Amino acid sequence: MSKKNSGTDADRAYRMRTKLIHGTFHSKCWDYNHHIIPPMSASAAYRLDSVHRGAQGFTEFAAEGMEENQPIYIYDRLQEPTRGLLEENLSSAEGGEMAVCFSTGMAAISAAVGILTGAGDEILAHHTLYGCTYSLFTNWLPRYNIKTSFCDLRNLEETAALINEHTRVVYLESPVNPTLDLIDLAALCRLVEKCNQDRVKERRIKVIVDNTFATPVCQRPLSLGADLVLHSLTKNIGGFGTDMGGVVIGARQYHEPLLMYRKDFGGVLSPRNAWPILVYGLPTLAARMANQQKSALHVARYLEKHPNVARVMYPGLESFPQHELARRQMVNYEGKFAPGSMLYFVLKGDLKEASEAAERCIDYLAGNAYSITLAVSLGQIRTLVEEPFSMTHSALPPEVKIAKGLEPGGIRLSIGLEDWHDITDDLERALAQT
């Protein structure tokens, strides 16, 4: 047995940045002692030694205590080793007890909500959400008689007033996509815990946090009281924009329902997509985030001083309205302030003027900028720009968007790994058009 597998070294308190590169190396999923790079499996079905063993695999699948046994692989959609390795490392990155990976972020969101709600139940969600999440909650879940109410989860009185006996899930993103408003996770979870005191176990409200924007490097919601954390792996964790994926992470009690849901709804992450996230994405996440957020602060400071910019939202700026909360909530594994790599800014003028200026600015970038690309998605090594009002958040009603600070003149930037001087130089030329 190699040193890495002997347990002694791995048991030492190595820092998370190191752990994200080396993984657990103790996996029950696969004995890969002599690999440096985890292997990639490609097998839809698995050879079984006997009917007895096949039967045991089916009985043990998703059953309590399954983590303690060597897995019996039967069929990719149930469980397979490459994805299993990724799940172990993702769970460790968020401080969870288990992780279950899905084909996309939306499949992960559907599963997290799917295992916690049934007909007659209600979700209470923050008013601003990723466009497809909003569409899932308002177009599809009502067909199953699952209703969603929206409120400002920053306002705990309003939140408490809207929680009723049917509420089963409180759902949010923080920072909110794209406005970057923050929700005080610890305070919200305390409120929910209080509401749960006089509820039977089966009716307790669970808090689900979409942590895609921050990544576990900048914020770990489970440590602040959340029940489930989820990610679009397509974004920062994948990091290179090559593959789609999603994950739900939390306590062991959710492992069985999530695996059963994934087995039957079928939105499983392919091992071919799991592999680049396991080999390139997660191991470089901490280094990429540290570098990108340094650049994001430079870009935010540059934009803040620009005469054509009305306001800049970046949790790392002293002028950020919730800067104190940002400093408390968004911290890296060492406890240092980690405000992330996303920023949002609004151009000057009334709604119409600002909207037209934003379009000129973004179109200029699309046609001329080398370091900034017009595209949806985020968290890649390339800096991406988009206009949320008409693009990613087009599913939300316009009056709701404007009331919540998501105006037509707003521009979202996802800062990549380029030299930040090139990013501000490209922005300088584009802002001259506004």
Ligand X SMILES: *Cc1c(COP(=O)(O)O)cnc(C)c1O
Residues that bind ligand X (CB under 6 A): 104-106, 130, 133, 173, 177, 210, 212-213, 232, 234-235, 244, 246
Least distance in angstroms from the C-beta of 130 to ligand X: 4
Q: Could you tell me the CA-to-CA distances from 378 to 164, 215, 311, 361 in Å, in that order? A: 36, 12, 21, 19
Q: Could you tell me the CA-to-CA distances from 221 to 290, 341, 417 in Å, in that order? A: 19, 18, 26
Q: How far apart are CA 174 and CA 209, in angstroms?
A: 7
Per the CB < 8 A criterion, the answer to whether 96 and 259 are in contact is: no
Q: Which is nearer to ligand X, 72 or 222 (CB)?
A: 222
Q: Which is nearer to ligand X, 20 or 101 (CB)?
A: 101
Element holding 364 (H helix, E strand): helix 351-368
Element holding 167 (H helix, E strand): strand 167-173
β-pair type (122-126, 342-347)? unpaired
Q: Which amino acid is at 313?
A: M
Q: Which is nearer to ligand X, 126 or 235 (CB)?
A: 235
- b/e code 228-255 from CB counts within 10 Å (16+ = b): bbbbbbbbbbbbebebbbbbbbbeeebb
Q: How far apart are CA 311 and CA 330, in angstroms?
A: 21
Rg of the Cα atoms in the chain: 22
Least distance in angstroms from the C-beta of 210 to ligand X: 5
Q: Which is nearer to ligand X, 62 or 106 (CB)?
A: 106
Q: Which is nearer to ligand X, 71 or 105 (CB)?
A: 105
Least distance in angstroms from the C-beta of 137 to ligand X: 12
Q: Which is nearer to ligand X, 91 or 174 (CB)?
A: 174
DSSP state of 337: B
Least distance in angstroms from the C-beta of 172 to ligand X: 10
Least distance in angstroms from the C-beta of 34 to ligand X: 34
Q: Which is nearer to ligand X, 213 or 254 (CB)?
A: 213
* Number of residue whose CB is nearest ligand X: 105
Least distance in angstroms from the C-beta of 280 to ligand X: 17
Tokens of residue 159, six digits: 């939140």
Q: How far apart are CA 234 and CA 275, in angstroms?
A: 13
Per the CB < 8 A criterion, the answer to whether 415 and 372 are in contact is: no
Least distance in angstroms from the C-beta of 83 to ligand X: 15
Least distance in angstroms from the C-beta of 211 to ligand X: 9
Closest CA to 176 of 407, 293, 344: 344
Least distance in angstroms from the C-beta of 98 to ligand X: 20
Q: Which is nearer to ligand X, 104 or 424 (CB)?
A: 104
Q: Could you tell me the CA-to-CA distances from 84 to 23, 38, 63, 70 in Å, in that order? A: 12, 11, 16, 12
Unique residue bearing structure tokens 């300088």 = 428
Q: Which is nearer to ligand X, 117 or 212 (CB)?
A: 212
